[in-house]
Amino acid sequence: MTGAPAGGAGPRGPVAPPGLAYAPPVTGTSLVALLDGRLLPATEPLLRPDDAGVVRGDGVFETTLAVDGEPRDLSEHLDRLGRSAAALEVDIPDRTEWSRGVDAVLADRPAGQWSVRLTATRGPDDGPATCFVVRSPVGPRLLAQRQGIGVLALDRGFDGPAVARAPWLLAGAKTLSYATNMAALRWAAAHGADDVVFVGTDGTLLEAPTATVVLARGRSLVTPPPEGILAGITAERLFAAAAAAGWAIARERVTVADLFAADAVWLTSSVRLLAPVTTVDGRALPAGRRAGLTGELAALLDMPAPAAVG
Ligand SMILES: Cc1ncc(COP(=O)(O)O)c(C=O)c1O
């Protein structure tokens, strides 16, 4: 199959060629499902070249971790997908259909840790949203980052409250327009770091390109205020478990200096889960309580062992 999908556009995006029944690979490669539950090889073309998701990055997505075939926090991810789609005014299928797609890519209950990505583009001008689910292996590099990462503090070019006041900037929606986030990560890699913490024009931290910033200060977990950033599902899950275990939770303005004064700092996100920050701009953070606190928070998050890769 080349070019546009051979089956043309169905009511919910591209349709697989008739009769294509795709057997899932044994391990290690990606797998794609349409929301009717049909599986496609990840190597087959799926989007039309005039799909707004391709030509404008116009669409929304979610990514979560599946452990031994079980997706984590699926309900919360479907909630956020719905909120993002509403912010962009993209008409997406209901959660039952998305769950069918997720079930399809995990139907063989793959052992180990996999990333599951739900994508909805606005679609072509003359068609509906293009929706699909992809399961991919979690690479060893990402898993290794659960042991520690160095970050750079990079300018975001805006401050959180300002973008939160401008709904058309879509702050807080998980859109497909991640090119600047990826550029920031490449900048970090080119300068010897693993990741980035974005600093707003007011000098306070916002978030990482694909993660939430969390600090421990005594028995408090601290994270930047919600304005202008994505509401992290992992951080929310962590805060709920930590609060139940007696931690105080604070959402307050945090500066780079606060990272050095904290007992420990992490980036949290759905696939990597909990990545302890060891250096900021090449300077080591105090390591004294980091390992103990990371173990405590990993248990609160019910984090799977790092080794098993799908
Ligand atoms: C910009 C941004 N902030 C924060 C997060 C962390 O969110 P979650 O824990 O829901 O994965 C992500 C996840 O990809 C993200 O892209």
For residue 123, what are the β-bridge partners? none
CA distances from 295 to 9, 47, 104, 301 (A): 48, 42, 34, 10
On whether residue 1 sits in a domain, the answer given is no
Asked whether residue 149 falls in the same domain as residue 296, the answer is: yes
Asked whether residue 102 falls in the same domain as residue 196, the answer is: no
Asked whether residue 163 falls in the same domain as residue 280, the answer is: yes
User: Which pLDDT score is estimated for 305?
Assistant: 77
Identify which of 80, 154, 170, 210 to mutate to test ligand 1's pocket (most ligand atoms within 8 A of the CB): 210
On whether residue 272 sits in a domain, the answer given is yes
On whether residue 310 sits in a domain, the answer given is no
On whether residue 117 sits in a domain, the answer given is yes
Asked whether residue 256 falls in the same domain as residue 155, the answer is: yes
| C-beta separation of 75 from 158 below 8 A | no
Q: What is the CATH number of the domain that holds 25?
A: 3.30.470.10
Asked whether residue 232 falls in the same domain as residue 270, the answer is: yes
User: Which pLDDT score is estimated for 9?
Assistant: 38
Mention every residue, 6+ apart, whose C-beta is less than 8 A from residue 71. 64, 65, 77, 102, 106, 116
Q: What is the CATH number of the domain that holds 288?
A: 3.20.10.10
- The residue from 79, 104, 138 where one domain ends is 138
User: Which pLDDT score is estimated for 233?
Assistant: 98
| C-beta separation of 39 from 102 below 8 A | no
Asked whether residue 100 falls in the same domain as residue 228, the answer is: no
Q: 229 is written with which tokens?
A: 């950033």
On whether residue 306 sits in a domain, the answer given is no
**Torsion-angle region of 260 (φ positive above 0: left; ψ -120 to 50: alpha; else: beta):** alpha
Query: How many C-beta atoms surround the C-beta of residue 264 within 10 A?
Result: 25
Q: 265 alpha carbon to ligand 1 midpoint, in Å?
A: 16
Please tell me if the CB atom of residue 224 comes closer than 6 angstroms to any atom of ligand 1. Answer: no
pLDDT block averages, 10 residues each, the chain of length 310: 34 38 55 96 91 98 97 98 98 98 96 96 97 95 95 97 95 96 97 98 98 98 98 98 98 98 98 98 97 97 67
- The residue from 110, 138, 166 where one domain ends is 138
On whether residue 258 sits in a domain, the answer given is yes
On whether residue 308 sits in a domain, the answer given is no
User: How many domains, the chain?
Assistant: 2
Give the residue numbers spanning the domain of 111: 11-138
Asked whether residue 102 falls in the same domain as residue 155, the answer is: no
DSSP 208: B
Asked whether residue 131 falls in the same domain as residue 274, the answer is: no
User: Which pLDDT score is estimated for 136?
Assistant: 95
User: Which pLDDT score is estimated for 76?
Assistant: 98
Q: Give the position, in ligand 1's atom list, of the atom nearest the Cα of 234.
A: 9
Asked whether residue 119 falls in the same domain as residue 167, the answer is: no
User: Which pLDDT score is estimated for 306?
Assistant: 58
Q: 229 alpha carbon to ligand 1 midpoint, in Å?
A: 9
